[in-house]
Structure 1
Amino acid sequence: MVNRYFADIGKPYTDLLSLVKDKDYFILTTNVDHCFQRAGFDKQRLFYTQGDYGLWQCSKACHQKTYDNEKQVKRMAVQQKNMKIPSDLVPYCPHCGAPMTMNLRIDGTFVQDEGWYYASNRYNDFLKRHENLKIVYLELGVGNNTPAIIKYPFWDMTSKNKNAVYACINYQEAFCPPQIKKQSICIQADIGKVLRDLQADK
């Protein structure tokens, strides 16, 4: 949780923003540390599909609502001792009294609140607006933990659109199916270095 508020953003985020800020872009991410928004990406162009460290939810998912946790987390960080916090800072669900937990997709209790659905709809609208148009599906560092969220859909959408390009930058797993090889650019390298080089050539 501390990463959500105190960790450095990292230059790859700012380099990526510089490359896309004047373009019609949308970010679909499984990251939950909010670095995209903290780096300056437009909130309306982001979909954190796996959750957000900055939100509490009921651990039993008794209702579909999330709660901002910034003030509590910062108080916890200040008051913790020996990796423990005062009991009165432990958050509990205002409805059922169960302990609160972070809004992360780790099991069947993940809460998809109103904001999650708004972001999902914006992403789907973006995809519909770009059907059969020139588009780059840029995949950065996606591994095999959750390929069905980004990797497989990007492959599928590329295969259905002759004007699309699938671009993958990955330190170890830059590849694509043979069916879209002619429409693909796979770079097996450090993402930060590639984005720096692109930024320098801009």
Structure 2
Amino acid sequence: MFSRKKTVSSTNSSCKLQQAKEQIAQADAILIGVGSGLSTAASLTYDGERFERLFGDLGERYGITDMYSGGFYPFDTLEEYWAWWSRHVCYNRYDDSGVPLYRELLSLVAQKDYFVLTTNVDHCFQKAGFDKQRLFYTQGDYGLFQCSRPCRQETYDNEAVIRAMVQQQRDMRIPSSLIPTCPHCGAPMCVSLRVDDTFVEDEGWHAAARRYEDYVRRHRHHAIVYLELGVGANTPGIIKYNFWRQVLQNPKAQYICVNKGEAFVPQKIAARSIALNCDIRDLFASIPHTS
């Protein structure tokens, strides 16, 4: 559908930045697609100083250099596995750092007909006060357990257990009594993330998917802004290619892509698109708030 050839906007185009701000301020309906770049802009980084501060001991013992790669480390025991994952979940799901930038985004769209489609799993949208009925987390939630088999399409809130694991771990191991197991089959639990075909799409997931599909259906012929923030190339079919297709099919739609170093648009929709190679925070500055 789209040519391999891409058009890239000027990195320092203040005119394009102002145009994007005006489109957002004037829009009645905004479909927001969000990837990990927004949380990175909010300082929820997975490497560098933050990793060393929160995971330095685990990194030194296992040779792990960042949080992302640590999620794939083959720990020998479940006690070690959950020492890692309890910290990972606690600091990225239950810590409030990073929330102010998400609140800044909310203040721009709170009075508009918005919906959020995201591959992020850190739940910053709900922590920032976004309406739960306007969110679709496609790839899971750090705050949920599921059966690792899985024997059922069910998920379970994990905050109390995760916090206990963090508080009670010693020598980078949790007490064996805290290892979570499925209440139905007894298999080990895992964090509910889409890493393979065992990911659980529970009723909450399907309800959110239906709300997203209904939002798209209602606006498919309307003037609407597709605002893409920090979406990379790991899973482009979920947001990026999806947005391109919808904008192509709706001549009244506008597309804004903000991703420092990775902002581009296909030529077929370039006339109705703005690609900004800038910090996401630059977009929020000076846009009239609707709160």
Same fold, TM-score > 0.5, yes or no = yes
For Structure 1 versus Structure 2, the TM-score category normalised by the shorter chain is over 0.9
| Map of 1:71 onto structure 2 | 160
How many matched pairs?
Answer: 201
| Map of 2:130 onto structure 1 | 41
Spell out the pairing of 1:1-202 with structure 2 (5 A cutoff).
1-2=89-90, 3-198=92-287
* Cα shift readout 1:98-140 (whole Å, capped 9, x = no counterpart): 1000000000100000000000000000001101101011100
Q: Which of 1 and 2 has higher RCO (CA within 8 Å, sep 6+)?
A: 2
Deviation, structure 1 residue 199: 5.2
The secondary structure found in structure 2 opposite 1:19 is helix
Deviation, structure 1 residue 69: 0.4
Long gaps (5+) in structure 1:
none
CA distance in 2 between counterparts of 1:134 and 1:77 reads 48
CA distance in 2 between counterparts of 1:62 and 1:199 reads 49
CA distance in 2 between counterparts of 1:20 and 1:83 reads 42
CA distance in 2 between counterparts of 1:194 and 1:31 reads 20
Cα RMSD between the aligned structures? 1.3
CA contact (8 A) 2:99 2:127 kept: no
What amino acid maps onto 1:20 in structure 2?
A: V
What amino acid maps onto 2:234 in structure 1?
A: N
TM-score (norm 1): 0.96
Percent identical pairs in the alignment equals 57
The structure with the largest alpha-carbon Rg is: 2
What amino acid maps onto 2:93 in structure 1?
A: R
* Cα shift readout 1:40-81 (whole Å, capped 9, x = no counterpart): 000000000000000000111111000000111111111112
CA distance in 2 between counterparts of 1:26 and 1:128 reads 12
TM-score (norm 2): 0.67
Deviation, structure 1 residue 12: 2.3
Deviates more, 1:82-91 or 1:49-58: 82-91
What amino acid maps onto 1:106 in structure 2?
A: V
What amino acid maps onto 1:116 in structure 2?
A: W
What amino acid maps onto 1:38 in structure 2?
A: K
Greater fraction helix = 2
CA distance in 2 between counterparts of 1:170 and 1:124 reads 25
